[in-house]
């Protein structure tokens, strides 16, 4: 891939490098060898620096002196963790993002790519949602704190450009899953939590308990595809305005359809229950990837069934070390 990263050595610091998407980027760079000459990659976890702490944030930036930053670190979780802990999704993410963006600015980082989420869009809206609609109305109640913190990254990016000419931008992701996800049943996102639940139900000979009606729709996107697209954004995407990196509207499925794919991948033959006393969250947040398609018309997303199959295989093979 040609690069617009500019001349000279490039030290690319990935905050949140130990998480789902950080590990996917590491895989693409190291295992798939998608590395441009002169690039040095640094993948951080919270053990390297607690980015809630401005002193630790400064120390880790001064240690590595990055020229480019992929900013992934965040307080992250599925619907039910958001509903239990909304306030800290706001407070923690505001602090982490402010520390990282301001430190990047103070140390002269050329480019930052941060991550937004399709759940931050207005709840009452027309579909499909696109990049111009982020601030058009209140987000869904279930994760309003995370959504407001994420929206502020877009505001910060515009302000760093207006005031200092900094080219800091953001990508907007839909529901991402894959190897190294958080498979915790209480706190994880839907696919990873359900893969773990199905695995356990099969082992214990119990029913699979799906939370909610199964009717909400989601655009599930494989983490390895997101890893490849974030590298493209770092090297090629030159706008301050954000861009949606997701499978298209036609690939949206219901939770029920996703459950069927997990059950098939793990060969689960038991009973499947839908607990409608649990919240469905947002019924849909259908996002358009038309802008992405204008830039990379030929990018091929991994089909959902194949991506779920690969994630289930990874989970079974790595059960003892996976985040459960």
Q: CA 201, CA 195: separation in Å to the nearest integer?
A: 10
From the candidates 80, 88, 127, 146, give the one annotated as an active-site residue.
146
| Smallest separation, CB 105 to ligand GFB (Å) | 26
> How deeply is 184 buried, as exposed, middle or buried, from its count of CB atoms within 10 A (0-12, 13-18, 19+)?
middle
Task: From the list ligand GFB, ligand NAP, none, pick the one residue 45 interacts with, judged by a Cβ distance below 5 to 8 Å according to partner type.
Answer: ligand NAP
Q: CA 249, CA 201: separation in Å to the nearest integer?
A: 32
> Is there a contact between 189 and 181 (Cβ–Cβ < 8 Å)?
yes
Nearest to 280 by CA among 235, 222, 216: 216
* CB nearer ligand NAP, residue 73 or residue 210: 73
* CB nearer ligand GFB, residue 68 or residue 75: 75
- Pick the binder of ligand NAP from 45, 184, 288, 324 (CB under 6 A): 45
* CB nearer ligand NAP, residue 244 or residue 259: 244
Active site residue 146: yes
Per CB under 6 A, contacts with ligand NAP among 157-216 are: 173, 175-176, 182, 189
| Smallest separation, CB 247 to ligand GFB (Å) | 13
Which spans of this chain sit near ligand GFB (rule: CB under 6 A)? 78-80, 82, 117-119, 143, 146, 174-175, 189-190, 193-194, 197, 210-212, 216, 218, 255, 278, 280-282
> How deeply is 162 buried, as exposed, middle or buried, from its count of CB atoms within 10 A (0-12, 13-18, 19+)?
exposed
Q: In the chain, count of helices (H) and strands (E)?
A: 9, 12
Q: CA 261, CA 135: separation in Å to the nearest integer?
A: 35
- Return the bridge partners of 218, or none: 253
Task: From the list ligand GFB, ligand NAP, none, pick the one residue 52 interacts with, judged by a Cβ distance below 5 to 8 Å according to partner type.
Answer: ligand NAP
Contact positions toward ligand NAP, by CB under 6 A? Answer: 16-22, 45-47, 50-52, 72-76, 96, 115, 117, 173, 175-176, 182, 189
Q: Which residues are catalytic?
A: 146
């Amino acid at each position: 891939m040609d690069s617009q990263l500019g001349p000279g050595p490039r030290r690319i610091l990935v905050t949140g490098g130990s998480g789902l998407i950080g590990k996917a980027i590491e895989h693409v760079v190291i295992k798939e060898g998608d590395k441009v000459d002169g690039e040095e990659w640094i993948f951080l976890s919270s053990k390297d620096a607690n980015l809630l702490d401005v002193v630790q944030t400064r120390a880790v930036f001064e240690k590595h002196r990055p020229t480019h930053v992929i900013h992934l670190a965040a307080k992250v979780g599925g619907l039910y963790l958001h509903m239990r802990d909304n306030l800290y999704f706001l407070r923690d993410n505001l602090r982490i993002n402010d520390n990282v963006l301001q430190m990047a600015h103070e140390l002269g980082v050329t480019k930052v790519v941060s991550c937004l989420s399709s759940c931050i869009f207005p709840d009452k809206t027309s579909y499909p949602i696109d990049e111009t609609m982020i601030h058009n109305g209140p987000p869904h109640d279930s994760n309003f704190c995370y959504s407001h913190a994420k929206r502020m990254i877009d505001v910060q990016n515009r302000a760093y450009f207006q005031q200092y000419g900094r080219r800091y931008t953001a990508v907007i992701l839909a529901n991402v899953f894959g190897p190294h996800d958080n498979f915790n049943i209480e706190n994880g996102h839907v696919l990873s939590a359900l893969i773990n639940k199905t695995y356990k139900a099969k082992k214990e000979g119990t029913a699979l308990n799906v939370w909610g009606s199964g009717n909400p729709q989601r655009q599930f996107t494989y983490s390895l595809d997101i890893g490849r697209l974030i590298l493209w954004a770092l090297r090629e995407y030159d706008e301050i305005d954000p861009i949606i990196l997701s499978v298209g509207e036609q690939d949206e499925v219901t939770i029920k359809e996703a459950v069927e794919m997990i059950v098939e991948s793990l060969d689960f033959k038991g009973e499947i229950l839908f607990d409608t006393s649990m919240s469905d969250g947002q019924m849909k947040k259908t996002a358009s990837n038309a802008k992405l398609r204008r830039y990379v018309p030929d990018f091929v997303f991994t089909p959902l069934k194949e991506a779920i199959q690969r994630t289930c295989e990874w989970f079974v093979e790595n059960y003892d070390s996976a985040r459960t």
